[in-house]
Amino acid sequence: MASIEKHGPSYRVIWRYQGKKQRTTWPTEEVALEAKAIVEGYRGNRTEDQVYVDMGVIDPDAGPIVPTFEEYAPEWLAAKTGITPGTRAGYKSQLENRIFPAFGKKPMDKVTATNIGTLLNQLHDPDEDDEPGLKNTTVTRYFTLINQIFEAAVRDKVITDNPAEGVKYKRDQIEHDDTGEPTQVRLTPVEYKILLHAFNPEDRPLVEVLAATGARWSEATALSVGHIRPATTPGEKDRVRIWRAWKRDGRGGWYLGTTKGRRRRHPPVRSSLMTTLKPCIADRPDDAFLLTAPGGGPIHYSNFLQRRWNPALDAAGRCAEHPPPNRGEPRPDGGPVRARCRDFGGTNDRGKPCGALAAAGWTRCRDHLGPEPGVASTCDCPGVLRRRPTPHDLRHTHAAWLFSDRRMTPLAISRRLGHAQLSTTSEIYGDLMPEAEEAAVDALDDLLNDDQGEPQPEG
């Protein structure tokens, strides 16, 4: 006569009264069984409101019980398909650390756009210790997660409206009057060559792969020898198979999975890249990593950033004739032999007193004697890199180079970058697309100004 069905994190009791379907919603299966027993005790002759009154748990005018955000979100996450373990763990962390404390105890239908907007602003703002707020891209991830959960709740008919739709939030933007200027560093070919030559020869293949393919870090470092496909026929292009990427396993480790958006691609590359990669390929099995750390294992981002990338940026940003000032100063009298860096106010790179022995005749130790890390020369001499890109900025650089060539269409660039949708390319590189649109205008001009096919005058 009456049945129970799972509905999101809740349970519904369903029956018919005078030909009309009735349903009540309950937070647990145990409570739903009690309601079902009441309905069947009356042989179905009970309305929804009457059953709520009989249960004595809610005012019928207030409607059915609605789960709190803290109750519904874990159920949604457990049922979420198509995400990696790392993404699932990231969602769980976002919910528990920031979102639940903000409005987790509120019923889903009581969370307002004001609650969500307040949280987003708090994420942007510095904390009590004046630590900077989260980056725009990170706050965007929080908003996207919240919106997904409320969209699912509407589909599950737990609530009728999505409060996140009432938040005037734009991707990666803090205030309504942001200029929208790109935050990426897009290197010119000259700047890129300065950066490339600042690396040791053994580190250049990875840098060239990032710049020549537009691959993400997780994709480039996951390449195997077998993913490099040299041309086999005249006129054919060398290609790189970008079919896998490093993924977080949600337990602090990594595994090899599909690329972001599951977009496998096989982009052609310049022959000069193949020349660079020849030593990485020669006499090695197809399943070996193409690019490896000095010890032979996978390349870890943090290690490469600290030990290879940042030192190369420092070298590229310093003019040989006009180097930045040293942190230490010479001691005219030579000073005591056992003097330490901290004796002269010296600190290490973490801001703590440095206990290393000072270099002979200097007020700092050998490791901290040179210029401050990240400080570039201020001269106008050529051959000095005056910006500090990240490894991911080489992907933005690659895209900018492609957009500068009118032979490339936005769709072709989007596919080469592995974007799931062209709209993603437009959001990230929209400021570069006017040039592509101008090419379309030129094409129309060439077509419509062609004298061929012009109608001839009569008579």
Residue where one domain finishes, among candidates 139, 166, 193 = 166
Residue type, 387: R
Q: Smallest Cα–Cα separation from 164: which of 178, 150, 152, 174? A: 150
> Which residue is listed with tokens 């009735």?
22
Residue 354 lies in a domain: no
Is 116 found in the same domain as 263? no
Within a domain: 371:
no
CATH (domain of 109): 1.10.150.130
CB 413 within 8 A of CB 425: yes
Residue 374 in any domain: the answer is no
Q: Is residue 363 part of a domain?
A: no
Per-residue model confidence (pLDDT) at position 450:
59
pLDDT digits (tens, 9 = 90+) for 234-250: 889 999 999 999 998 88
| CATH number of the domain within which 430 lies | 1.10.443.10
Among residues 141, 166, 191, the one where a domain terminates is: 166
Please check whether residues 253 and 315 belong to one and the same domain: yes
- Is the Cβ–Cβ distance between 139 and 120 less than 8 Å? yes
> Does residue 412 lie within any of the structural domains?
yes
Q: Based on the fold, state whether residues 122 and 137 are members of the same structural domain.
A: yes
Residues 252 and 214 in one domain: yes
Q: What is the pTM of this model?
A: 0.69
Residues forming a β-bridge with 16: 21
Domain containing 291 equals 181-325+387-444
- Residues 160 and 202 both lie in one domain: no
| Domain match, 217 and 290 both | yes
Residue 86 resides in a domain: yes
- What's the pLDDT score for residue 180? 47
Which of 363, 337, 338, 340 shows the shortest CA–CA distance to 353?
A: 340
- In terms of residues, how long is the chain? 459
Q: What is the pLDDT of residues 130-141, one digit of tens each?
A: 567 888 888 999
Distance CA 363, CA 253 (A): 42
Answer yes or no: do 254 and 274 share one domain. Answer: yes
Helix/strand/coil for 260: helix
- What's the pLDDT at 455? 52
Q: Which two tokens stand for residue 364?
A: 């700092």
Query: Tens-of-pLDDT digits for all 459 residues of the chain?
Result: 899 998 877 889 999 998 889 988 888 888 899 999 999 999 889 898 888 888 876 555 555 678 899 999 999 999 999 888 999 999 999 999 999 999 999 999 999 999 999 999 999 887 665 567 888 888 999 999 999 999 999 998 889 899 999 998 776 554 444 444 557 899 999 999 999 999 999 999 999 999 999 999 999 999 999 999 999 888 899 999 999 999 988 888 999 999 987 888 999 999 999 999 999 999 999 999 999 998 888 999 999 999 999 999 999 999 989 989 888 888 867 666 678 888 888 887 677 899 998 888 888 888 888 888 888 899 999 999 999 999 999 999 999 999 988 788 889 999 999 998 888 888 888 778 765 556 656 666 776 775 555 555 554
Identify residue 431 by its one-letter amino acid code: D
Task: Check whether residue 46 and residue 118 sit in a common domain.
Answer: no
Structural domain contains residue 315: yes
Is the domain of 85 the same as that of 49?
no
Task: Name the domain boundary from 32, 62, 92.
Answer: 62
Domain match, 94 and 217 both:
no
- Total number of domains in the chain: 3
Residues 188, 144 share a domain: no
Give the integer Cα–Cα distance in Å for 262 and 439: 31
Say yes or no: 155 and 282 in one domain. Answer: no
In a domain, 340, yes or no: no
Instruction: Give pLDDT, residue 252.
Output: 86
Give the pairing type, strands 238-240 and 10-17: unpaired
